């Protein structure tokens, strides 16, 4: 219940101090937006996942005799996984190579009897615990010609594993941030309110959910590194030892912090206990920093600091919202009235101010992270990572709209009439909308943290996610065109064909062309690109063509197309094994856009 004096205070227009505080916040927001635009503009390319920068011998080389070793040079230190470096010879059977990793360099020993057309396929783990893979082709002595294989079905389990990983990360963030935010809300924002402490049952549920999320995420990391799909989860001996130490550290910190918060919970906790719970909550919430993308960026201290601040202020906002929703619910015992409305209005005002500064800090830290992690502006629309970030920012814009509606209209309303249940109910409903939108933001973040910021393909990332799919294009192999080659492309074996390719690009343009002879060995892709109005398009740089054989975990093998007459392009693609190959053509149509046309061909 409220006193007359308090009601007079609640009814008063905003005090000059509050107005100037709100103006300061707006000015700070504008300054931050300008600063962030500058930061993004001047951002240096960041270290994403490790990339292969050179090999000795280089791919495509023909040698008189087998080299003693193959050296792979990466852009950042990498770690090996068992059987990660394999040699596929003329019989198509992969053999594990003895390999050592020293910093950015991996050296693999080539068996002395290796001869003919050889594929060295590699899979290593980047500093941020993400697996990356690729392959190179070397011929020793005379080419043994194509390696014939029966086509193999594509495994869809990678896509499922990716989805489970995104859901697990989102659950870990959601539960960990809410848990830590609730502790902060109870200890700082609602500390004098008799019902400010979150119920123990809720804290237990959140600690359990964060534990489940982080453990499932670690399992997905191990499975991705092992190369086994989701089905391999039942053989933990195969993937458990592969879970990297930083991921284990994140698991340990999340579990320890979360369950310590539960252990320290009490109705009337002492100041020391409260502080300990706050520290434990902070450990849970910043635990992902130990194994995320930010451990590989430069300067590392800035990446780690921005990430920690981002997580902590995100928790302040999300957990605070949940805390306030619960408090409002408990203060509305029935249709009759509001229990201690003035105290509730005070807590609301305190949270509203804190949330404003949290949003500001989220924006600053978030854009700092983007500037450090993204390799450049063009990655924002040209990569799966960039597009996930755009989705996240769009959701953040909507949640900010809802939050500012709440702050400008409903917070003053409940402060003016703290005893009116209808005002509090409307306020609570809008806060629930804010919470739901933040959950969507966290789902988009889950996708963000599992993709390669550089746009490369994670070894467990399906092409359609990582490499700008062409949504309008049907997921079928190209249809055979009328023209058929007589005989195999090396004069024997199965007959070659020319397959027509037609793919709509994400920006409305179209790629048309053909690939032949669709046999194991060298194939030629010829194509042209037209814009949405049907005009021949001149890409800003020669298109890149990547091929992968997912069923054998081979690739991608990359090549740059060369210009031919009449604005057409040609790329010679080496398909060293039979099977269903995914071909991706990345066309830079503008500084900000690099749509990818993707199609499958079955080489026999
Ligand atoms: C202006 C708004 C925002 C921007 C520009 C932004 C940007 C980013 C970026 C670039 C990352 C790095 C992802 C990576 O590791 O590759 C990130 C991570 C993250 N963001 Fe945001 N974000 C924003 C708002 C939010 C909001 C509103 C929330 C939720 C309350 C949130 C929660 C997170 C979480 C949980 C992570 C993961 C951190 C980790 O795993 O280390 N972000 N954000």
Q: Tell me: pLDDT of 225 over 50.
A: yes
| Strands 62-63 and 131-140, bridge-based pairing | parallel
Distance 72 CA to ligand 1 centre (A): 33
| Sheet (strand 105-109) strand order | 52-56, 69-74, 105-109, 99-102
For ligand 1, whether the C-beta of 289 sits within 6 Å is yes
For ligand 1, whether the C-beta of 323 sits within 6 Å is no
| Ligand 1, atom 19: closest residue by C-alpha | 445
Rounded mean pLDDT of the chain?
78
Q: How confident is the model at residue 5 (pLDDT cuts 50, 70, 90)?
A: very low
Across the range 175-196, mean pLDDT stands at: 90
Q: Tell me: pLDDT of 481 over 60.
A: no
Question: Which is nearest to 326 in space by CA: 172, 233, 189?
Answer: 189
Query: In a mutational test of the pocket of ligand 1, which residue from 392, 403, 437, 456 has the highest number of ligand atoms less than 8 Å from its CB?
Result: 392
Q: How confident is the model at residue 90 (pLDDT cuts 50, 70, 90)?
A: low
Q: How confident is the model at residue 207 (pLDDT cuts 50, 70, 90)?
A: very high
Q: How confident is the model at residue 168 (pLDDT cuts 50, 70, 90)?
A: very high
Quick: pLDDT tens for 97-138. Answer: 888 888 889 999 988 888 887 888 888 887 777 777 777 778
Query: In a mutational test of the pocket of ligand 1, which residue from 249, 310, 318 has the highest number of ligand atoms less than 8 Å from its CB?
Result: 310
Q: Which residues, in sequence order, are bridge partners of residue 515?
A: 499, 525
For residues 319 and 297, what is the distance between their CA atoms, to the nearest angstrom? Answer: 29
> 52-140 with 472-603: one CATH topology?
yes
> How much of the chain exceeds pLDDT 70, in percent?
79
Distance 160 CA to ligand 1 centre (A): 23
For ligand 1, whether the C-beta of 292 sits within 6 Å is yes
Across the range 208-237, mean pLDDT stands at: 88
| Sheet (strand 480-484) strand order | 480-484, 497-504, 510-516, 521-530, 569-575, 562-563
Do the Cβ atoms of 372 and 461 come closer than 8 Å?
no
Quick: pLDDT tens for 29-63. Answer: 556 555 555 544 444 444 456 778 888 888 778 88
| Ligand 1, atom 28: closest residue by C-alpha | 314
Distance 328 CA to ligand 1 centre (A): 28
Across the range 544-570, mean pLDDT stands at: 84
**pLDDT of the residue at 326:** 93
Peptide bond preceding 362: is omega within 30 degrees of 0, i.e. cis?
Answer: no
Q: Beta strands of 187-243 (E only): which ranges?
A: none
For ligand 1, whether the C-beta of 181 sits within 6 Å is no
**pLDDT of the residue at 548:** 84
Distance 314 CA to ligand 1 centre (A): 8
What string of DSSP letters covers 440-461? Answer: HHHHHHHHHHHS-TTSPPPTTS
Domain 52-140 has CATH 2.60.40.1220: yes
Query: In a mutational test of the pocket of ligand 1, which residue from 282, 285, 437, 445 has the highest number of ligand atoms less than 8 Å from its CB?
Result: 445
Question: Which is nearest to 116 in space by CA: 141, 94, 97?
Answer: 141
For ligand 1, whether the C-beta of 318 sits within 6 Å is yes
- Which atom number of ligand 1 is nearest to the Cα of residue 294? 15
Higher pLDDT, 232 or 507: 232
- Which atom number of ligand 1 is nearest to the Cα of residue 453? 16
Which region among 258-272, 345-359, 491-505 has the lowest average model confidence (pLDDT)?
491-505
For ligand 1, whether the C-beta of 288 sits within 6 Å is yes
CATH class of the domain defined by 472-603? mainly beta
| Domain layout of the chain by residue ranges | 52-140, 157-450, 472-603
Across the range 193-197, mean pLDDT stands at: 79
Distance 445 CA to ligand 1 centre (A): 6
Q: Tell me: pLDDT of 178 over 90.
A: yes
For ligand 1, whether the C-beta of 264 sits within 6 Å is no
Q: Tell me: pLDDT of 309 over 60.
A: yes
**pLDDT of the residue at 65:** 86
Quick: pLDDT tens for 414-456. Answer: 888 888 888 898 999 999 999 999 999 999 998 888 777 765 4
The CB-side HSE value for 459 (13 A sphere, CA atoms) comes to 32
Q: Tell me: pLDDT of 308 over 90.
A: yes
Quick: pLDDT tens for 319-342. Answer: 999 999 999 988 886 656 778 888
| Ligand 1, atom 39: closest residue by C-alpha | 288
Q: Tell me: pLDDT of 468 over 50.
A: no
Q: Which two tokens stand for residue 279?
A: 């520290």
Higher pLDDT, 131 or 532: 532
What string of DSSP letters covers 57-90? Answer: SPTT-EESS--SEEEEEESS--EEEEEEEEEE-T
Q: Tell me: pLDDT of 359 over 60.
A: yes
What string of DSSP letters covers 227-295? Answer: T--GGGGG-HHHHGGGS-HHHHHHHHHHHHHHHHHHHT--SS--HHHHHHHHHHHHHHHHGGGGGSGGG
């Amino acid at each position: 219940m409220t006193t007359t004096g308090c009601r007079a205070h609640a009814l008063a227009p905003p005090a000059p101090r509050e107005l100037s505080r709100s103006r300061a916040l707006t000015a700070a927001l504008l300054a931050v937006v300008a600063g962030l635009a500058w930061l993004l503009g001047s951002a240096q390319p960041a270290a994403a996942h490790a990339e292969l920068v050179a090999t000795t011998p280089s791919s495509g080389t023909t040698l008189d005799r087998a080299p003693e070793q193959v050296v792979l040079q990466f852009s950042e230190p990498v770690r090996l996984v068992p059987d990660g470096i394999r040699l596929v010879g003329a019989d198509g059977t992969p053999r594990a190579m003895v390999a050592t990793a020293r910093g950015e360099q991996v050296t693999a020993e080539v068996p002395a009897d290796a001869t003919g057309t050889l594929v060295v396929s590699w899979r290593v783990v980047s500093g941020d615990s993400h697996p990356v893979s690729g392959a190179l082709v070397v011929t020793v002595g005379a080419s043994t010609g194509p390696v014939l294989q029966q086509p193999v079905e594509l495994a869809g389990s990678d896509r499922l594993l990716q989805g489970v990983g995104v859901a697990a990360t989102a659950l870990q963030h959601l539960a960990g941030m809410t848990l830590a935010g609730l502790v902060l809300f109870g200890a700082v924002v609602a500390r004098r309110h008799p019902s400010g402490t979150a119920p123990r049952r809720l804290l237990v549920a959140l600690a359990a959910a964060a534990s489940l999320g982080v453990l499932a995420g670690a399992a997905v990391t191990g499975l991705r590194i092992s190369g086994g799909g989701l089905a391999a989860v039942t053989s933990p001996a195969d993937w458990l030892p592969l879970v990297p130490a930083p991921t284990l550290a994140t698991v340990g910190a999340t579990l320890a912090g979360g369950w310590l918060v539960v252990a320290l919970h009490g109705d009337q906790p002492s100041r020391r206990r409260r502080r300990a719970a706050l520290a434990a909550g902070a450990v849970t919430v910043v635990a992902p920093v130990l194994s995320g993308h930010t451990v590989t960026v430069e300067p590392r201290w800035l990446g780690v600091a921005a990430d920690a601040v981002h997580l902590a202020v995100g928790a302040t906002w999300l957990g605070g919202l949940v805390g306030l929703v619960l408090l409002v619910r408990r203060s509305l015992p029935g249709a009759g009235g509001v229990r201690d409305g003035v105290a509730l209005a005070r807590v609301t005002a305190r949270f509203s101010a804190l949330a404003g500064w949290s949003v500001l800090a989220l924006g600053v830290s978030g854009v700092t992270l983007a500037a450090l992690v993204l390799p450049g502006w063009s990655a924002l629309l040209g990569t799966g990572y960039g597009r996930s970030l755009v989705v996240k920012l769009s959701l953040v814009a909507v949640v900010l709209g809802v939050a500012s509606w709440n702050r400008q209209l409903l917070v003053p309303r409940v402060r003016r009439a703290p005893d009116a249940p209808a005002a509090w109910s409307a306020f609570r409903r809008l806060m629930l909308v804010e919470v739901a939108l933040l959950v969507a933001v966290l789902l988009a973040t889950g996708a963000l943290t599992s993709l390669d910021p550089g746009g490369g393909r994670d070894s467990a990332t399906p092409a359609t996610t990582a490499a700008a799919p062409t949504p309008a294009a049907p997921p079928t192999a190209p249809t055979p065109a009328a023209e058929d080659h007589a005989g195999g492309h090396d004069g024997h074996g199965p007959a070659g064909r020319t397959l027509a390719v037609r793919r709509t690009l994400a920006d409305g343009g179209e790629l048309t062309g053909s690939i032949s002879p669709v046999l194991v060995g060298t194939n030629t892709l010829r194509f042209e690109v037209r814009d949405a109005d049907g005009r021949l398009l001149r890409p800003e740089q020669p298109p890149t063509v990547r091929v992968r054989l997912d069923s054998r975990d081979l690739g991608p093998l990359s090549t740059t197309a060369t210009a031919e007459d009449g604005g057409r392009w040609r790329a010679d693609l080496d398909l060293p094994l039979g099977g269903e190959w995914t071909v991706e053509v990345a066309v830079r149509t503008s500084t900000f856009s690099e749509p990818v046309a993707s199609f499958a061909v079955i080489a026999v």
